[in-house]
Chain A
Amino acid sequence: MSGVPAAPDRPAGRPAIVILREAASKYGLIAVLAALPLYLAILDLTNDGDLSKLGNNIVAGLSNGAIYALIALGYTLVYGIIELINFAHGEVFMIGSFVAFGLWGTLGLGLATGPLVLVFGLLATLLITMVVCGVMNVMIEQVAYKPLRSAPKLAPLITAVGMSFILQNVGILWLGASPASVADLIHAQQDVVTVVGVTVHRADVLAIVVTIPLVLALTTFISRSRLGKAMRATAQDPDAARLMGINVNTTISLTFLLGGALAGAAGLINLLYQTSVWYFQGFEAGLIAFTAAVMGGIGNLKGAVLGGLIIGCIQQISDYRIGADWTPAVVFAYLILIMVFRPQGLIGEVTREAG
């Protein structure tokens, strides 16, 4: 806001510094993102003579990123419509994992279950988890955000943080404070195919196969259906939308429902993928997914998916090359760099927040 308004385009005689600055803001983020993999690729080529190590990281990163993409969509949907960082969203994802884990017990899914029953059982788990998490997200909105809709914007952010802590502690009471391992129902680490030294595991296939239809369904819903149109209208201008006869409150609730449902799906995939649950998984994944949403341009659905995939790769590369202990610091460093230098993200528009 305090910055100088962009100078009108003067094709002739622009000083080099302006051209340089524009190029930096346009391609700087991409350059920063590409630097790490490029460096490692050169390192691999000189040491091993092939890129299979990096390739494996990227495959695992993409499938991990699919989970982040699902969570990031929830952040971006909510931010797009009420400009709130739903800090408790990561915890909805965590509760999704917990619910799915509980459902396996109820449905009797275990290592001895036959493949057909397993598929139907997991589909049922997916549906129920999505519904539970969606409804929970709507309830969170009703309790913590709706009463504060006319308050200063920091107020709902603070309640969101409070909500996040409440849900984390629900998780502690549910399954204890240390990570619990769960049955590896789909034999997640079994190889499916190996191409030029790059192995695709079952978990990778699962993450992609569940994520793609969900993302397609969501984008179709938002771009085609009447309710989706109402959502887009509310995001653009809530007051005008209300004048046009759109029930803004219902639309906001619907947004939370969709976001929560996607987080629930991500929770189940994560459970199958990592074969463990932990009350703290939501906090970490939530912040990583938020980084993904910002990276793609918050409020932008495609951006969230793209950001999720990229951040998944960064996370995997950092896990294996720098050390898992440092991964959060690496991701947060990216978050700060993006927020400061390109707050509109890769493909987002300039928002008011971004100044």
Chain B
Amino acid sequence: MTAVRNRLGSHFNLVAAIAGLAIAAIIPMFLDPLSSITDNAITAGAYVVMALGLNIVVGFAGLLDLGYVAFFAFGAYTTAWFASLQFAPANHSKGIHILAGEFASKLPGLHFNFLIILVLAIVITGIAGMLIGLPTLRLRGDYIAIVTLAFGEIIYRFAVNGDAIHLAKGYPLTGGRQAIAPLDSIDLPGLPAFDDASNLRPFFWFVLVLVALVLFVNFRLRESRLGRAWIAMREDEVAAASMGIPLVKTKLLAYATGAAFGGISGAFLASYQSAVNADQFQFGVSIFILAMIIMGGLGSIWGVVFGAVVLSFINTYFIPNVLNSIPSHLGLDFDLTQVSFGIFGFLILIVMVLRPQGLFPERRRKIELTEGIGADEGLAEERP
């Protein structure tokens, strides 16, 4: 692996990404159009996008965000607001349609094309990310974690009780625990409408495109001035500030970028599942995503992709289908799906204690985590 990496040099990531995505794109052709593996892979793709977003905040910038589910929620509700019957009275019950699909354009409510929704989701979650980031600017370390957690819980409460909040008469904020459904399926210009009842492949390819985009942005960002500023800030905030890095701007950009990825993923998942209900946005989801990036290796892009795919498949496939019969074989009477979050908690604990740098660590991060205080000296020697 290392030899290959050295030969390819700076092109390694590009080659690996193209190869990986190309192989992934072919796989569903060999499967049934409605295969549950494709279904799980689509979810996994969405989680990869989400985990790469959280990785920017936690892995690159070193700001522990325990309320990341909030951005998932904002993204999902963007789809729920702009591609459903939620705001049925709009425009005298005729609805507002912008490049909507053939079927959707006859319905009342807001119906925007999914690409517009993606852009809206990026803008909305980006702003939300900054607003949530603002109060944490003066804080450090564990206080940031708790404040973001508190924001996540407040957003969740608004989602749960949102059916009682009316923006205007007939415009409830959310559906509360009742799902907002159905949502418009993805309908891209020039392509037939995506239909999850007949063929899942387009969804899979769409999510692959999203993953490719997000991967590209991630790699470019990491090598950019901004990315290096994030890493410098993570390693030593005071030193970074004294080197002229504007902490406020750098932190807010980290929150906004990370949040935008969460929003993209949330908007896509909502559209794919065609339903959004408040209970999708519990604290556990934040921890699930955090477990992905910790398992893969904080700050390591490939590690995070691996962690997201593996944990997502464990959640959607292995726990319900493969491992679920284990308790009954042992004579115990419970569903393993009930304790899936316990399993993820256990994974976090084990990885953090035994291998804090994750399975595929980023070189710089590994030095930091394994050498503790001495990290700075180690780094100085490693630099060319």
- What is A's interface to B at a CB cutoff of 8 Å? 1-3, 83-85, 143-144, 147-148, 150-155, 157-159, 161-166, 168-170, 172-173, 177, 283, 287, 290, 294, 323, 325-326, 328-329, 332-333, 335-336, 339-340, 343, 352-355
Contacts and interface: CB of A to CB of B under 8 A. Distances in A.
Contacts of B353: 143-144, 147-148, 159
Contact of B247 (A2, A329, A332): A2
Interface string B329-360: 00000100011011111111100110010000
Interface in B217-232: none
Given A158-B64, A325-B157, A339-B147, A172 B348 contact: no
B241 interface: yes
B160 interface: yes
20 contacts: A143-B349, A143-B353, A154-B64, A158-B348, A159-B353, A162-B352, A165-B284, A168-B341, A173-B338, A177-B338, A287-B150, A325-B161, A329-B153, A332-B154, A335-B150, A336-B135, A336-B150, A339-B143, A339-B147, A340-B147
B382 to A, nearest CB: 18
Contact of A173 (B161, B339, B346): B339
Contacts, number: 154
B171 interface: no
Contacts of A154: 62, 64, 141-142, 145
B342 A166 contact: yes
Contacts of B138: 2-3, 340, 343, 355
Given A158-B64, A158-B294, A340-B147, A148 B345 contact: no
Contact of A152 (B161, B247, B344, B369): B369
Nearest to B340: A169
Contact of B369 (A151, A323, A336): A151
Contacts of A150: 372-373
Interface residues of B, number: 52
B139 A339 contact: yes
B194 interface: no
Contacts of A164: 345
Please give me the 8 A-B residue pairs with the lowest Cβ-Cβ distance, nearest first: A169-B342, A165-B345, A162-B348, A329-B157, A162-B349, A332-B150, A169-B339, A162-B345
Majority secondary structure of chain A interface residues (helix, strand, loop or mixed): helix
Nearest to B132: A336
B158 interface: yes
Given A162-B348, A335-B150, 14 more contacts: A147-B353, A148-B356, A151-B356, A152-B369, A165-B348, A166-B345, A169-B338, A329-B154, A329-B158, A332-B151, A333-B154, A336-B151, A339-B146, A354-B139
Interface in B307-335: 334
B338 A355 contact: no
Contacts of B348: 158-159, 161-162, 165
Contacts of B352: 148, 155, 158-159, 162
A27 B8 CA distance: 62
Nearest to B62: A154
Nearest to A169: B342
B349 A163 contact: yes
A333 B151 CA distance: 8
A32 to B, nearest CB: 15
B142 A157 contact: yes
A332 B147 CA distance: 8
Contacts of A148: 352-353, 356
A155 B241 contact: no
A340 B241 CA distance: 21
Contacts of A84: 142
A124 B291 CA distance: 40
B342 A168 contact: yes
A81 to B, nearest CB: 15
Contact of B153 (A3, A158, A328): A328
Q: Which of A150, A290, A329, A355 is most buried by chain B, counting CB atoms within 10 A of its CB?
A: A329
